[in-house]
Amino acid sequence: MNPRALSCEEVIERLFDYLDRELDSQEAADIEWHLQRCRDCFTRAEFERRLRARVAATGTAKAPPRLHRRISALLDGFDESDTATDS
Amino acid sequence: MRFDDAASRREWFERRLAPLMDRLYGTALRLTRHPADAEDVVAEAVIKAWSQLGRLHDPERFEGWLFHILTNTFISEWRRRRSRPHAGNADTLEPVELDSASFTLFQQLHQPFLLWWGSLEDQFFNGLLQEDLEQALDALPDAYRVTIVLVEVQGYTYEEVASLLGIPVGTVRSRLSRARSRLQKMLWVQAREAGVVLGGKEGGAQE
Ligand SMILES: [Zn+2]
């Protein structure tokens, strides 16, 4: 399948759908084809991709030791209260 | 999942849980905004997963399954809290859909020419602290924050977010673009106040 030529406007309009992987493979290929050839749209896409990666990284935070301890204690409690045969 | 005995069940579970703890806690922290609430959500989700382990048929799916439990645990707690009579934070229900989804940080930062010290975009990213970003995310209205976390942090599809939150896909889309616009605006204000971005198109260069 040949890529469909998109205007810069169409690319920017769908940029987040593309970054969020909401497009089907043909639509994504159309965007990629444009991004490989258009410096302006590529720069914009890279910016949003970088920011998105930084947001994604906020989803990791050192779990405090007391949380680890609490979970172990809860699991210990379960081990005692039932014989852990799942059914 | 079936196990020979309680000890091997426990061992299996803890071995898979351990590498996920920081992401479970971090995700819960972004969703709830408060360390104590995040710990409660993680503890509750882990215990649910432990007691429902028999329902997990494919061990390869453990991670996605556990995060799904975490997300649902948060959402039901969130619903329960906001249905309380004196909850007091109206924006947790439906954000006032007034603000536009049109602000883009890129347009503020992007210059068609390179400055001698690099681009403003680089300058912005180099100066962007994790805590600034967390603060900006935390300042979003609940419905916006939750949507952006589900999509950008957890990687759920719009369809999945719609079903998790019980809202139409169109609403997911509009919340997401408003959330992004607001977030970028806050980051822009933060960056300018911190002096991280010198210049920029809103008159900074002439000040
Ligand atoms: Zn273009």
Confidence at residue B100, expressed as pLDDT on a 0 to 100 scale: 64
With CB atoms and an 8 Å threshold, state whether B128 touches A54.
Answer: yes
Share of residues in chain B with pLDDT > 90 (%)? 63
Query: According to CATH, what is the number of the domain B105-206?
Result: 1.10.10.10
Token code pair at residue B22: 């920081």
Q: Which residues are within 8 A (CB) of B58 and not within 5 positions of it... i.e. 6 or more apart?
A: none
The residue type found at B52 is: Q
Q: Which of B96, B8, B98, B24 is nearest to B62 (CA)?
A: B24
Question: What is the torsion angle, in degrees rounded to the nearest 10, for the CA atoms of residue B156, residue B162, residue B168 and residue B170?
Answer: -10
> For residue B98, what pLDDT is reported?
53
Is the pLDDT at B203 greater than 50, yes or no? no
Q: Give me Rg for the CA atoms of chain A.
A: 23
CATH architecture of B6-82: Orthogonal Bundle (1.10)
Q: Is the pLDDT of residue B32 over 70?
A: yes
- d(C-alpha B96, C-alpha B140), whole Å: 12
Q: Pick A85 or B204 by higher pLDDT.
A: A85
* Residues of chain A with a CB closer than 8 angstroms to some CB in chain B: 16, 20-22, 43-44, 47-48, 50-52, 54-64, 66-68, 70-71, 74-75, 78-79, 83-87
Interface test with B, best of A23, A40, A55 (most B CBs within 10 A): A55
User: Residue B205 above 50 pLDDT?
Assistant: no
Which of B33, B50, B138, B147 is the best residue to mutate to test the A interface, defined by the most A CB atoms within 10 Å of its own CB?
A: B50
Taking only the tens place, the pLDDT of each residue in B34-92 is 999 999 999 999 999 999 999 999 999 999 999 999 999 999 999 888 776 654 444 44
For chain B, the domains span: 6-82, 105-206
**Alpha carbon distance B183, B175 (integer Å):** 12
pLDDT at A11 over 70: yes
Specify burial of residue B4 (Cβ count, 10 A radius: 0-12, 13-18, 19+).
Answer: exposed
Query: Which DSSP category does B79 fall into?
Result: H
The model's pTM is 0.86
Distance of alpha carbon A14 from alpha carbon B123, whole angstroms: 26
Q: Is B34 on the interface with A (CB under 8 A)?
A: no
Q: Which two tokens stand for residue B82?
A: 């906001």
B130-138 helix and A39-57 helix, angle to the nearest 10 degrees = 80
User: For residues B27 and B132, what is the distance between their CA atoms, to the nearest angstrom?
Assistant: 17
Token couple for B131: 């805590």
Instruction: Indicate the domain borders of chain A.
Output: 8-62
Beta bridge partners of B118: B115
Burial class (CB in 10 A: 0-12, 13-18, 19+), B165: buried
